[in-house]
Amino acid sequence: MWQALLSYPFLQYALAAGLLASVACGVVGSLVVARRITYLAGAVAHAVLGGMGAARYLQVVHGITWLTPLTGALAAALAAAGVMGLVSLKARQREDTVIGAIWAVGMAVGILFIAATPGYSADLMGYLFGNILMVTPGNLGLMAGLDAVVLLLGLVFFKQLLAVCFDEEFAETRGLPVQWLYLLLLGLTALTVVLLVSVVGIVLVIALLTLPAAIAGHLARRLATIMVLAVAASMLITSGGLALSYRADWPAGATIAALAGAAYLATALGARLLAWHRRRAA
């Protein structure tokens, strides 16, 4: 395994992609889980297919080479987050409907573009379920950039984001620009979704966004601690999943997502057992 890692650059890139994605995933995933906007993140993730499909179409058919699927994903994720933000600020009672609409329509647009793109329908599986083994050094550069943006904004505005997620109304009475902070949270979620799509694919993004944070939630009781633990959990899960998939020749994205699920189940059971044990001892 170690030998393979040393001799195959594509494995090194894959490992680096997993580690880079884990940083944003732990920080933003903890906020998403605490604020309970997992479904909103799911809609953003699925809307990404529209952006990837459109970008690939323009690349292949119209020869716009700089418009990579990852760039398209970024644009679509930010647009979807912007729409979700406006809807929850202006018409909260419609939020649920709009989540469903963005989710399905984003995918539909993606499929239509992929169908219209000559000879590249094989991309679909990669977009949906991840192609971490196809990560290029260029992708890694963009991922590192996204990570830096997410980390910087997350750290600088940590206490404001915490206050808005915990009690938006009180935060407003303290003079915080709560609507902008909510849009910031959605924007960070969009950037993180794009990072994760490269690792596990659109369908499995939710697993990595929520499960490491949920695992950390069993181990700590402060958001900052949960973020650090979630980053660590995500790094272990992506690296472990990658190793497992290489050994067993399983699809990497699905292996990582399944491993995250197993780790969550184990932690949840462990926490239950521990609580039960403490009650009996008391």
Partner 1 sequence: MSAPSAAVEMAGVDLRLGGVMVLRQVNLTIAQGQFAVLVGPNGGGKTSLLKLMLGLLTPSRGRVRVLGESPRRARRRVGYVPQHLQVDPSFPVTVLDVVLMGRLGRTSPWGGYGRADRQQALAALEHMDMAPLAGRSFGQLSGGQRQRVLIARALVSQPEMLLLDEPSAGMDVVGEHELFDLLDRLHQDITVVLVTHDLGFVSSHFAEAICVNRQVVIHPTRDLGRQAISDLYGQPMRMVQHQHHLPLPGGEHG
Amino acid identity for residue 259 in this structure: L
Q: 176: Cβ–Cβ under 8 A, 6 or more apart, which residues?
A: 160, 163, 164
Minimum distance from residue 155 beta carbon to partner 1 (Å): 7
Tell me the site size for partner 1, rule CB under 8 A. 27
Query: In terms of CB distance, is 27 or 259 closer to partner 1?
Result: 27
Minimum distance from residue 112 beta carbon to partner 1 (Å): 38
Sites for partner 1 among residues 219-258 (CB under 8 A): 220-223, 226
The count of residues in the chain is: 282
Minimum distance from residue 230 beta carbon to partner 1 (Å): 11
Instruction: State the helix-helix crossing angle for 9-35 and 38-62, rounded to 10 degrees.
Output: 140
Minimum distance from residue 160 beta carbon to partner 1 (Å): 7
Minimum distance from residue 220 beta carbon to partner 1 (Å): 7
85-103 exposure pattern, b = at least 16 Cβ within 10 A, e = fewer: bebbeeeeeebeebbeebb
Amino acid identity for residue 87 in this structure: V
Minimum distance from residue 38 beta carbon to partner 1 (Å): 14
E strand intervals along the chain: none
The correct pick among 217, 241, 251, 253 for binding partner 1 (CB under 8 A) is 217
Query: In terms of CB distance, is 123 or 168 closer to partner 1?
Result: 168
- Residue carrying the six token digits 């732990």: 26
The reply on whether position 156 binds partner 1 by CB under 8 A is yes
The reply on whether position 171 binds partner 1 by CB under 8 A is yes
C-beta neighbour count of 196 within 10 angstroms: 33
The reply on whether position 175 binds partner 1 by CB under 8 A is yes
Largest Cα–Cα separation, the chain: 70
The reply on whether position 60 binds partner 1 by CB under 8 A is no
The reply on whether position 155 binds partner 1 by CB under 8 A is yes
Amino acid identity for residue 102 in this structure: I
What is the dihedral sign for C-alpha 60, 64, 70, 74? Answer: negative
| Positions in the binding site for partner 1 (CB under 8 A) | 30, 34, 36, 155-156, 158-160, 162-163, 165-167, 169-176, 217, 220-223, 226
